[in-house]
Chains A and B, each alone.
Chain A
């Protein structure tokens, strides 16, 4: 269970998720302090372990910097729920085993509010909104993405 931190925006880009000036940092905790700084300088202090970030279309567009999912994950974000993702961000989130990139339809995106408590059930492809007592479906992960997520990242995944 985690709480929702929602930004009603499309095209939240990697420069907003982690501004370029912090790409020289090597320490994950230091990187995490600047997560989402371009949109919400207080983000870091709002997050508790297991929380979810909710946003609109094309989340994570722009740079290939893996520092973006690292920053979110190291803050405590368990998953990002968005209508669509930019592909490099999606890959980085999965391959590095950092966080769950969960795609939902526009309706579901609108129903989830900032501060809601939610739970994800990957086996049922379901999102439970405990605050509103609602259940939504999420787009299933592809076969290999599900396996990499289960393994905890590309390097821990072993093909059958």
Chain B
């Protein structure tokens, strides 16, 4: 029977069925400091060990400072959380890429970078953006702390089989610098909504997806969760295999594996998806979110919408849009390009890989940030930082008065001191524009790295197609 890629991965990892749910074997488990402490406590209380420490990898990212790492962490509670992960990894024998490691970084940036992420694998992490790893043709999903404990103890997860949802992106982007993977995924979420993918695994397919680099595919898969999906994936191709070759944890028999994957890791002709959605890449232009969830997004050429028009007769959506405009301090009819900003954040597991930084740097050379705008560039990992510095990107950013910082989640979720003040408006390359996400009372507009960099220079949003 013809199967989708997801169904093949599912079937090959099913250990058992229990009370209507499946027990799924987990190939890779990524752990970070915020969602793991209670899970390790649970293991200790019940005198359990970590079943496969060799398949478990830890780093610290959510709560780490992005300033000078040689100084002690000022916030005692943060310092304690970081210390706790160090102690837990030591006690349970888990490899840790800690604050002083050259491999430290955002968990979803370092997984692929170190070759921990593999095609056809099942990957979990106590973080919703684990969907990122799906870019390599893996089934990767975010879990909570109870499930983290379950995977640490058993290397398995109890799951209901998700439905399959085909997302076709045909055609070609009109400008591959100005129109990015971020604009494609925001355009999709704008259409399917924040719960459109609920209970499904998305498979991104079509010409425009094949055309994307691995960094760009990660941006797409990363935001699958913002459309409500359990996971998102892209079938692996030569770009995928080339990316993962020769990395720190790439398997020794990699070439052999690649030959096998080439034959098997794809959706069969004639396989049926439970749902389908299609979008034409040639019609997509740069996107800017205006509201308080990622589906509240507009083309850069549009204006802030009228709540009633946005809601199309759905009263609850109309109320949500009105509330969003109030929170965001925006008026219907204001052109997106007239919205002035106070802050810019270039970072996060969505958009802090090397290509993101290259694109952002490409349009600021010889320019300066608007004097009213504070800009932070936070590389996704220390490896990304190192490579960017080898290319001289740090100098370009610093010359433009952009802050060049150490890697971590930073202002994406406002756990460390990198936060917005109440009322501040930020052009952010992160994934969530929820109320208070980047700091209580802060206002977030989601954009691509190149759009964020251009906004930093201009002091307001611009149609970056006019710049490149």
Q: Which A residues are CB-close (under 8 A) to B20?
A: 142-144
> Are A96 and B19 within 8 A (Cβ)?
no
A122 interfacial contact with B, CB 8 Å = no
Contacts A61-B194, A66-B38 given; does A21 touch B81 at CB 8 Å: no
The 10 nearest A-B residue pairs measured at CB: A92-B144, A66-B144, A144-B19, A66-B145, A64-B142, A95-B146, A20-B413, A96-B146, A58-B195, A15-B434
Q: A143-B19, A159-B19 are in contact. Are A15 and B432 (CB under 8 A)?
A: yes
Interface string of A1-31 (1 = CB under 8 A from B): 0000000111101011001110111100000
**A23 close to B34 (CB less than 8 A):** yes
**Does B250 lie at the interface of the complex (its beta carbon under 8 Å from any beta carbon of A)?**
no
| Chain A residues bordering chain B, tally (CB within 8 A) | 43
CB contact under 8 A between A57 and B436, given known A64-B126, A144-B20: no
- Could you say which residues of chain B place their CB within 8 Å of the CB of A15? 413, 432, 434-437
Is there contact, CB below 8 Å, between A155 and B42? yes
Structural contact, A38 and B195, CB atoms closer than 8 A? no
Q: Is B293 an interface residue (CB 8 A)?
A: yes
Select from chain A the residue with minimum beta-carbon distance to B34.
A23
Query: Chain A: which residue is nearest B23 at the CB level?
Result: A159
Q: A63 contacts the other chain (Cβ, under 8 Å)?
A: yes
Judge if A56 is at the interface, Cβ distance under 8 Å. Answer: yes
Residues of B within 8 A of A128 (CB): none
Complex CA–CA separation, A39 to B434 (angstroms): 11
Can you name 13 extra interface pairs (CB under 8 A) apart from A58-B228, A64-B128? A10-B316, A11-B320, A13-B434, A20-B414, A23-B34, A24-B81, A38-B435, A84-B195, A88-B143, A91-B143, A96-B144, A144-B19, A159-B19
Q: CB-nearest residue of chain B relative to A58? A: B195
B319 touches A8 (CB 8 A): yes
Chain B interface residues toward A at CB < 8 A: 18-21, 34-35, 37-38, 42, 46, 62-63, 75, 77-78, 80-81, 84, 126-128, 130, 142-147, 149-150, 158, 160, 194-195, 198-199, 225, 228, 230, 293, 316-317, 319-320, 323, 413-415, 419, 432, 434-437, 440
Please indicate the chain A residues that have their CB under 8 angstroms from the CB of B225 in the complex.
62
Q: Could you say which residues of chain A place their CB within 8 Å of the CB of B149?
A: 155
What residues on B are CB-neighbors of A92 within 8 Å?
144-147
Contacts of A10 in B (CB 8 A): 316-317, 320
Q: A87 to B437, Cβ gap below 8 A?
A: no
Chain B hits for A56, CB < 8 A? 316
Q: A15-B434, A26-B37 are contacts. A64–B143 as well, Cβ < 8 Å? A: yes
Give A10 to B195 CA distance when docked, in angstroms: 10
- Residue-wise interface mask of A (110-140) relative to B, using a CB-CB cutoff of 8 A (1 in contact, 0 not): 0000000000000000000000000000000
Contacts of B414 in A (CB 8 A): 19-21
A137-160 interface with B by 8 A CB criterion: 142-144, 147, 153-155, 159-160
Most chain B beta-carbon neighbours within 10 Å: one of A9, A16, A23, A64:
A64
Partner of A57, one of B63, B78, B81, B195: B195
Contacts of B46 in A (CB 8 A): 155
* Contact of B440 with A19 in the complex, beta carbons under 8 Å: yes
Does A86 reach chain B (CB closer than 8 Å)?
yes
What is the distance, in angstroms, from A58's C-beta to the closest C-beta of chain B?
Answer: 4
Residues of chain A lying within 8 A (CB to CB) of residue B142:
64, 88
Chain B residue nearest to A106 (CB atoms) is B316
Between A87, A88, A154, the greatest number of chain B beta carbons within 10 A of the residue's beta carbon is seen for: A87
B293 and A13 form a contact (CB under 8 A): yes
Q: Is A20 in contact with B415, judged by CB distance below 8 angstroms?
A: yes
Proximity string of chain A (77-95) to chain B, C-beta cutoff 8 Å, 1 when within and 0 when not: 0000000101110011001
Q: Chain A nearest CB: distance from B362 CB in Å? A: 31
B437/A20 in contact, CB under 8 A: yes
The answer for the CA separation of A147 and B195 in the assembled complex, in Å, is 26
Provide the residues of chain B in CB contact with A25, threshold 8 Å.
Answer: 77
CB distance from B283 to the nearest CB of A (A): 27
The smallest beta-carbon distance between A87 and chain B, in angstroms, is 6
